[in-house]
A and B are shown apart, each in its own frame.
Chain A
Amino acid sequence: MTEELLIETRDLTVGFPVGGRLFNKKTLKAVDGISIGIPRGSFFGVVGESGSGKTTLGRALLNAVPITGGHASYDDGEVRYDLATLSGAELKDYRKRAQLIFQDPYAALSPRMTVRDIIAEPLEVMGLTNSREETDTRVREIAAKCRLNLEHLRRFPHAFSGGQRQRISIARALVSGPRFVVADESVAALDVSIQADILNLLKNLQSELGLTYMFISHDLSVVAHSCDHVAVMYLGRIVESAPTRKLFAAPRHPYTKALFSAIPSLDPDDRGRAQKLEGEIPSPTNQPLGCKFHTRCPYATDLCKTHEPVLQVEGDHAVACHRWQELL
């Protein structure tokens, strides 16, 4: 691959101490040995269900949760940072370049601030402007790009619908001029008709502002339409990663196949492709040995129960499964 990578991780691990006594703390590895590369300018999708660790991965890359193992780096051509050891002035600078769009449009906006103040806050905190006029101008610019007019700026969040609030959230994330934006389930809480609107907006802003997205979602169809590359996560690991078309045309991992067949089809007569999964997702504190997926995999063998598969990379398509070739 000759593309420049904006974000590159190697064996990235994020662990949390959980429960136990004072001297017997266990570690919950929400993200366990992730190695991905996000090219500049890409719309990179990360898909998984609950307990997959996708949100933690996003937050770790933004330095919102501490990285406890492995490497992660950021390189946008101007600066290069080691994300595991960021601090002080470097951290301050990184904050300008990497931002987050939240999932819940109702909780992400302070109900006591006007829209103008909400969008202006990053500028004020990071000291990016020198006067109130300059702040106002930048706020208005980004608000216009997100289809928010002057009248909207005077109002408070309670006056807006979910879709509008998400646009305010996006404006706030983009006002500081970042290069890397993590969109954490940013359309999950929205109505379907608005979802499409926000996805289109994100795409337009990407080409207009030269952004790189990491798009986290549990909704495969949304990811399929918007992203150019998808990584599928299960219990803190990457199980498959490939360009979108390839992944959807020929998925290799049994979990990916199951995810596809689980999506209810809009055609009433299409009763779903073969594979439906039994059982529940194991709790992240009680992970199975061997391949994390073997408890629900219809093709699990003894090898799967004892040995964890490594990520096998073939060109741009990576799979972590012992048996993927025979199951094609």
Chain B
Amino acid sequence: MSLIDVENLTLQFRTDEGLITAVEDVSFSLAPGEVMGLVGESGSGKSVTAKALMKLNAANAVYDPATRITLHLDSGPVDVMSLKRPRDMEIVRGGAVSMIFQEPMASFAPAMTIGSQMVEQLLIHTDLSKRGARDLSIEMLDRVGISDAASRFNQYAFELSGGMRQRAMIAMALSTRPKLLIADEPTTALDVTIQAQVIDLMKDLVAEFGMGIIFITHDLGVVAQTADKVAVMYLGRMVEQGPVREVIRNPRHPYTRGLIDALPQLDDLDKPLMPVPGDIPSPLERPEGCVFHTRCTRIIGDICRTAVPGWADTGPDHRTACHLCHQDTAA
């Protein structure tokens, strides 16, 4: 029984330059306690997808009517698309679903202490008293490795370093015991030694709290170390999905291959860096057919230019949206 099912998520933005497709036909599921890495570069639509789960996208977002997002909670399934009033949306915003962001400075209000923000959140989403909320918050701050949690509780966001702020944000997100945590590039802005600490922390917390995590990042190394399964996105479409070992050791989509080849790797310093050829198309110039065909080195013919590839099974739980894979599996 999965925690969240996303089916046919399609999202466009109304802008001055026209209707821009941000996400097209994205489907995936997440089981409780599972960590999914959502990998993509700029323009891939990964952040937009995550925000859609909490209905956090801007007002000019237009959802396709076929989109279905179902959150399976203990109290029953919740159809996220049908939530209209802010009261209803509380459940997905901070209640059962929590989010942590790339810039921790941006998610803490500068004029309130960290403690008061954490308590405020708890008061909205739980039945705790103010005293109870305070105790729980200090406990969470301690749990995420912030020394001297009781005095940090009364500090402001700018008084903490980058790594500490990120930990505090994790503490705040987890204090409501969400079933699903969405982490949007939480380590990108951190120094690499701090990043390692935060990654270890998140792995411990998953083991302890058992929540599902959608971990959005552009860093395949981080995904390899934290995720159970990975989904790769390009220009708004999901191009490959599967268990992390499968996808990284045996990437089937040319884009995934390209991403891995482009990474400088420490164990083989002589290997030349192979960029993915070409440039990412502007969102105003989305290619027809397979969205990746303009940069793909393995085009098999006109079919890539005209037809959108469907999913092909390329391994245990591993599927790829590529005409070449269809051909291989058919053969």
Contact = CB atoms under 8 A, between A and B. Distances in A.
Direct contact of A and B (CB under 8 A): yes
Interface of A: 49-50, 159, 161-164, 191-197, 199-200, 218-222, 224-226, 244-245, 248, 258-269, 271-272, 276-278, 280-281, 283
Interface residues of B, number: 43
Interface in B197-247: 197, 199-200, 218-222, 224-225, 244-245
10 tightest A-B CB contacts, nearest first: A264-B221, A197-B275, A191-B41, A196-B275, A193-B276, A49-B191, A196-B273, A262-B196, A225-B264, A196-B262
Given A193-B259, A258-B193, A264-B222, 7 more contacts: A49-B193, A193-B262, A197-B276, A222-B264, A262-B195, A264-B195, A280-B164
B281 to A, nearest CB: 9
A248 B220 CA distance: 21
B265 A266 contact: yes
Contacts of A225: 264, 269, 273
B42 interface: yes
Interface string B59-74: 0000000000000000
B331 interface: no
B164 A192 contact: no
A163 B191 contact: no
Contacts of B222: 264
B254 to A, nearest CB: 11
Most B CB atoms within 10 A — which of A260, A267, A278? A267
A276 B280 contact: no
B19 interface: no
A249 to B, nearest CB: 9
A266 B276 contact: no
A210 B260 CA distance: 31
Nearest to B191: A49
Contacts of B263: 192, 196, 221, 266
A217 to B, nearest CB: 11
Given A263-B192, A272-B196, A281 B265 contact: no
Given A164-B279, A191-B280, A266 B260 contact: yes
Nearest to A193: B276
Nearest to B227: A268
A192 B279 contact: no
B200 A276 contact: yes
B191 A248 contact: no
Interface string B240-258: 0000110010000000001
B194 interface: yes
Contact of B269 (A197, A224, A276, A283): A224
A193 B248 contact: no
A193 B192 contact: no
A160 to B, nearest CB: 9
B279 A265 contact: no
Contacts of A265: 221, 224-225
B192 A280 contact: no
A248 B260 CA distance: 21
17 contacts: A161-B279, A163-B280, A164-B279, A192-B259, A194-B276, A195-B262, A196-B274, A197-B275, A200-B275, A218-B191, A219-B192, A245-B269, A263-B192, A263-B266, A264-B222, A266-B263, A267-B224
A260 B193 CA distance: 9
B264 A276 contact: no
A193 B295 CA distance: 11
A220 B192 contact: yes
